[in-house]
Amino acid sequence: MNSTKIIKSLPYKRPFLFVDELTEISEKGVKGKYTYREDEFFYEGHFKNNPITPGVILTETMAQIGVVCLGVFLLEDQISSEEKKPQIALTSNEVDFFLPVLPNEKVTVISEKEYFRFNKLKCKVKMLNANDELVCRGTIAGMIIAK
């Protein structure tokens, strides 16, 4: 399954799709990118006159690229038919934050699979800014099934 098909299979759309491209994907992990556009809905109120990407959005971006895209890839055989779509539920996350992400910043998410058993996928995920500085990192897990 190629990266364009994986992104189209995701159960998200703008303004809640945080995947622009996948640059690497294998059974071991995934690498992808997203640019936070200055007109994103959350910048209007976070914070007044000082827009910063909320941590929950950074976590969601890492989950979409690092867990959901990888899960869709791993379930390719089950999702390949048009009538089956991935269903996702976040089960746990632990993320540490180090740097802010501002409007118009492009980030790279790198994920390494820890395990995938009984449709539960757990990954070590990190986010880097355009200067390859660590923005945040953690462990994210979710259940992924094709229905």
33, 46, 120, 122: the catalytic one is 46
Please answer whether residues 114 and 122 qualify as being in contact, where contact means their C-beta atoms are separated by less than 8 angstroms: yes
Q: Which is nearest to 85 in space by CA: 12, 4, 15? A: 12
Active site residue 46: yes
Q: Which residues are catalytic?
A: 46
